[in-house]
Amino acid sequence: MLSQAIFTTSEMDDLFSSASQIKAMLAFESALAKAEYTEGVIPSAAAAVIKSVCASATFDAEDLEKQTLLAGNPAIPFVKQLIEKVKQRDAEAAKYVHFGATSQDILDTAMMLQLKTALTHCLEDLEQLEQKLALLAFSHRNTLMIGRTLLQQARPITFGYKVATWLDGVSRSRQRIEQIKKDNLTLQFGGAVGTLSTLGSPALSVKAVMASALDLNDSEITWHGQRDRFAEIVTTLGILNGSLGKIAKDVTLLMQTEIGEVFEGAAEGKGGSSAMPHKRNPVSSVFMVAIATRTPALVATFLSAMVQEHERAAGNWHAEWHVITDLVKLTAANLKHANDLIGHLEVDTNRMLQNLELTQGLIFAEDITAALSPKMGKAAAHTFVEQACKAALKEKVHLKTYLLEKTDILTQITEGVSDVGFGMLDVGNASKSLDALFDAKNAIGASTNFVDNVLKNKRINGVTNTL
């Protein structure tokens, strides 16, 4: 499909190619032989030959793929061919290839090794994304725009605040991925039924040595049937994709012709429409929305597949493989698109200001009510403002224009604003005027404080923000 590049990256395609999987399996076999020699299970000479063959052997991936259909999993033909290759060098050594291990040991461990690389990539991209988001939030800390709830204009915020909420979610996902990278990447090594029964007493020390050699965690017990470690990796990536999808959704909405507050950077040939010159089509954000639509079901599949029979499962283990790799590829692509998107996002601050005026002052009705309440009483203030809004709408004038003609009311507002007893009316100290009540920058509340909170200790322009 011509669209495949949307849903993966070349790094991840390489990482989850047959060739890379073979490489990871060779790493397993090599580490196994070495650990078994170290712990006195197999002869030194055999280990040396196996290690050497693992370092240089090449495999016919296509042939292995075909054999997999008969064997039931890729490890069986792989080991068979590896034994053959070792035998060609040293028949005695061939006896000790894969000694004591089972197919699931090698495949689970290879996946863990591949995931280590994948998570490292993701974390790099996430850190870049965080820096871009931090810079964007910082740059637009005070950029006024309307906040929207239920897709309706509600009250003013700053664009920096909006971006800071995005960053907030992404940062937590980055922390979660760091945590699972530390906790969940674990060696699988148990032999046929998980008991390492062919290794005798050195079994557990072989396992420990292998884990250390492969830089994976060791486990308390074989986990052939306990898939929660993989599951947590999968769900953690699932959550990240949700957070990225939210950013993308916001961008597609802000790019609407009728809103036009942000735009994807206009790379040559990107998103344009020659027939429709006014269109600035979202591209990266559309890809991100598509990915966020696809990832939840992969998570569900993995969780469904956790119900695995006895010591090794009849199907649900097989179901995991492509679910994990598809999810990782989608995640990596999502992060790539997100970096493209945020790194080149164009912000139309004028349009943001224009859109604040779209309701002709009605978005400030609540502020007027609050200013009137001290003198007028809350109920009366509310009734008055409600009627004023209706009248202004009907007469198609700005609410401020309408109010300016009600001189009796004006006094009460001014007094109300000056009569600061609490809350939002602090703002009155500064201006004590109707203008102040219709000035969006007086209505953004803690927007900038929240931005500052989120930016604390984040890197902005290469410098850690120690604010």
Active site residues: 273, 312
CA distances from 461 to 127, 341, 451 (A): 13, 18, 16
Select from 159-167, 401-409, 410-418, 459-467 the region that touches its own copies (CB under 8 A): 159-167
Count of residues of this chain found to bind its own copies when the rule CB under 8 A is applied: 190
By the rule CB under 8 A, 135 interacts with its own copies:
no
Q: Where are the alpha helices (DSSP H) in 72-158?
A: 75-89, 91-94, 103-139
CA distances from 34 to 31, 47, 54, 194, 238 (A): 5, 6, 11, 20, 37
By the rule CB under 8 A, 33 interacts with its own copies:
no
Q: CB neighbours (10 Å) of residue 74?
A: 22
The only residue of 14, 127, 178, 228 in contact with its own copies, by rule CB under 8 A:
228
Sign of CA dihedral 311, 192, 117, 68: negative
Residues 8-27 that bind its own copies (CB under 8 A): 16-18, 21-22
The only residue of 31, 164, 409, 413 in contact with its own copies, by rule CB under 8 A:
164
CB of 450: closest distance to its own copies in angstroms? 4
Residues 434-453 that bind its own copies (CB under 8 A): 443-447, 449-451, 453
Closest among 95, 93, 19 to 58, alpha carbons compared: 19
Residue-by-residue DSSP string for 343-399: HT-EE-HHHHHHHHTTTTTGGGHHHHHHHHHHHH-HHHHHHHHHHHHHHHHHHT--H
Q: Binding string to its own copies for residues 55 to 94, with x set by CB under 8 A, is what?
A: ------x--xxxxxxxxxxx---x---------------x
For the chain, the first-to-last Cα distance in angstroms comes to 49
CB of 417: closest distance to its own copies in angstroms? 12
Q: Binding string to its own copies for residues 308 to 347, with x set by CB under 8 A, is what?
A: xxxxxxxxxxxx-xxx-x----------------------
Q: Which is nearer to its own copies, 423 or 462 (CB)?
A: 423
List, in sequence order, every residue forming a beta bridge with 158; answer none if it has no partner. 144
Q: Which is nearer to its own copies, 120 or 383 (CB)?
A: 383
By the rule CB under 8 A, 159 interacts with its own copies:
no
Select from 119-127, 235-243, 400-408, 431-439 the region that touches its own copies (CB under 8 A): 235-243
